[in-house]
């Protein structure tokens, strides 16, 4: 692994100037402290729904369970909550009123599985795991993913709740496609876990952008964009505007930066800054990254304020606001 000085040299070469993360948030100090305290096992996940997901994951991790089981079962509880309108059952539909789900999962040995544009199935993360474990493929999409799920014992469920229909009908009055920043119209759960044996895993699951075009798939089921795990280095996941994350191969970039010597925090800040650099119009372009290295150090960063993540270790269970790189204009 390269030294920190190599990393800075590398970034300077890549950008033409020294990368100085513009840390604006007061919580940075708290975050740094958390980094120093973090020990395995550990679980982190995006947004406040991460708190209850982490509880499930933590129960597995603290009893010596695997990072992979924790990452799958942790996010399932959010998928199965009909009151959560951005993941699993209860997710907001696309423009035409259809709910479609995206998810992926990855372990420390680079085994991975994903489903995209999956309809009628409450727990896409578990279907993704089955794709990983039972097929020679990484991703199944649409009708093929549904057929595979049904063949593997998953049951058809109506994912469209009354509340989601009510909101969608409201939206139809204007039919304006304008993602609202930090509002629950796009709040994936991404989870990163490190177990007692030192193995990493991650999961990512979402109903995607509310009122998206039918057929749209975001970053969340794409290995390297919404999630990436390298058992020798670390793991990263993303939330926010998926198109922006895909454009920079977000999660894989963050893991590569860590491989080059960046801390998880530096890597997340740099990932966010790349997104900022590549987009002329940042209006409503919120993206948040989470990272966890093999030693249990944590990083989190977003374009704008408002992205938070949940952490659970043996001595800490809380929601932390991530650092951010841009002030609201």
Residues labelled as active-site residues: 188
Select the residue interacting with ligand ASP from 79, 187, 266, 308 (CB under 6 A): 187
Least distance (Å) between residue 292 CB and ligand ASP: 18
DSSP for 217-247, written as a single string = --STTSBTTTEEEETTTEEEEEEE-HHHHHH
Site residue total, ligand ASP (CB under 6 A) = 13
Determine if 220 is a binding residue for ligand ASP (CB under 6 A).
Answer: yes
Taking alpha carbons only, the member of 187, 189, 188, 186 closest to residue 45 is 189
* Stretch in the footprint of ligand ASP (CB under 6 A) among 8-16, 18-26, 194-202, 239-247: 239-247
- Detail the DSSP E strand segments found in 156-297: 189-194, 200-206, 227-230, 234-240, 287-293
Taking alpha carbons only, the member of 290, 295, 273, 271 closest to residue 282 is 273
Least distance (Å) between residue 240 CB and ligand ASP: 5
Determine if 72 is a binding residue for ligand ASP (CB under 6 A).
Answer: no
Select the residue interacting with ligand ASP from 242, 250, 271, 299 (CB under 6 A): 242
Determine if 91 is a binding residue for ligand ASP (CB under 6 A).
Answer: no
Token pair for residue 46? 């995006």
Select the residue interacting with ligand ASP from 40, 76, 186, 294 (CB under 6 A): 186
Determine if 90 is a binding residue for ligand ASP (CB under 6 A).
Answer: no
Determine if 266 is a binding residue for ligand ASP (CB under 6 A).
Answer: no
Determine if 239 is a binding residue for ligand ASP (CB under 6 A).
Answer: yes
Determine if 209 is a binding residue for ligand ASP (CB under 6 A).
Answer: yes
Determine if 269 is a binding residue for ligand ASP (CB under 6 A).
Answer: no
Residue pair 60/70 in contact (Cβ under 8 Å)? The answer is yes
Q: Cα(208)–Cα(100) distance, rounded to whole angstroms?
A: 8
DSSP lists the bridge partners of residue 239 as 288
* Stretch in the footprint of ligand ASP (CB under 6 A) among 49-57, 110-118, 156-164, 214-222: 214-222
Angle between helix axes 49-62 and 67-79 (nearest 10 degrees) is: 150
Helix (H, G, I), strand (E, B) or coil at 202: strand
Least distance (Å) between residue 325 CB and ligand ASP: 17
Least distance (Å) between residue 100 CB and ligand ASP: 10
Determine if 124 is a binding residue for ligand ASP (CB under 6 A).
Answer: no
Query: Is the torsion defined by CA of 15, 16, 20, 24 positive or negative?
Result: negative
- Detail the DSSP E strand segments found in the chain: 42-46, 101-107, 112-118, 139-141, 189-194, 200-206, 227-230, 234-240, 287-293, 298-302, 308-313, 316-321, 323-324
Residue pair 254/322 in contact (Cβ under 8 Å)? The answer is no
* Stretch in the footprint of ligand ASP (CB under 6 A) among 11-19, 125-133, 233-241, 292-300: 233-241
Return the ∠ at Cα 219 (arms to 41 and 109), rounded to 5°: 40
Determine if 240 is a binding residue for ligand ASP (CB under 6 A).
Answer: yes
Determine if 203 is a binding residue for ligand ASP (CB under 6 A).
Answer: no
Least distance (Å) between residue 266 CB and ligand ASP: 22
Which residues bind to ligand ASP, rule: CB under 6 A? 186-188, 206, 208-209, 218-220, 239-242
């Amino acid at each position: 692994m390269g030294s920190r000085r190599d990393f800075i040299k590398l970034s300077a070469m890549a950008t033409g100037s020294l990368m100085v993360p513009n840390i604006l948030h007061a919580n940075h100090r708290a975050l740094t402290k958390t980094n120093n305290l973090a020990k395995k096992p550990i679980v982190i996940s995006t947004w406040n729904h991460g708190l209850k997901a982490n509880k499930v994951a933590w129960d597995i991790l603290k009893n010596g369970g695997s990072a992979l089981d924790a990452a799958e079962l942790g996010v399932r509880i959010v998928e199965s909550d009909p009151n959560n309108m951005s993941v699993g059952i209860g997710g907001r539909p696309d423009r035409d009123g259809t709910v479609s789900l995206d998810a992926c999962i990855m372990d420390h040995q680079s085994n991975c599985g994903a489903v995209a544009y999956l309809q009628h199935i409450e727990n896409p993360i578990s279907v993704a795991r089955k794709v990983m474990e039972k097929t020679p493929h990484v991703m199944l999409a649409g009708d093929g993913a549904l057929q595979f799920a049904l063949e593997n014992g998953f049951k058809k469920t109506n994912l469209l709740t009354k509340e989601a229909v009510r909101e969608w009908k409201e939206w139809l009055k204007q039919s304006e496609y304008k993602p609202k920043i930090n509002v629950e119209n796009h709040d994936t759960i991404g989870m990163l876990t490190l177990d007692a044996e030192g193995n990493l895993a991650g999961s990512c699951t979402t109903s995607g952008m509310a009122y998206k075009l039918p057929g749209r798939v975001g970053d969340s089921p794409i290995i390297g964009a919404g999630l990436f795990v390298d058992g020798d280095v670390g793991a990263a996941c993303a939330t926010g505007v998926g198109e922006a994350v895909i454009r920079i191969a977000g999660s894989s970039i963050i893991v590569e930066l860590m491989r080059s010597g960046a801390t998880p925090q530096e890597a997340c800040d740099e990932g966010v800054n790349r997104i900022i650099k590549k987009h002329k119009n940042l209006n409503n372009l919120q993206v948040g990254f989470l990272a966890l290295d093999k030693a249990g150090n944590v990083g989190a960063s977003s374009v704008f304020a408002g992205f938070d993540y949940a952490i659970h270790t043996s001595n800490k269970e809380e929601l932390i606001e991530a650092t951010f790189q841009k002030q609201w204009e």
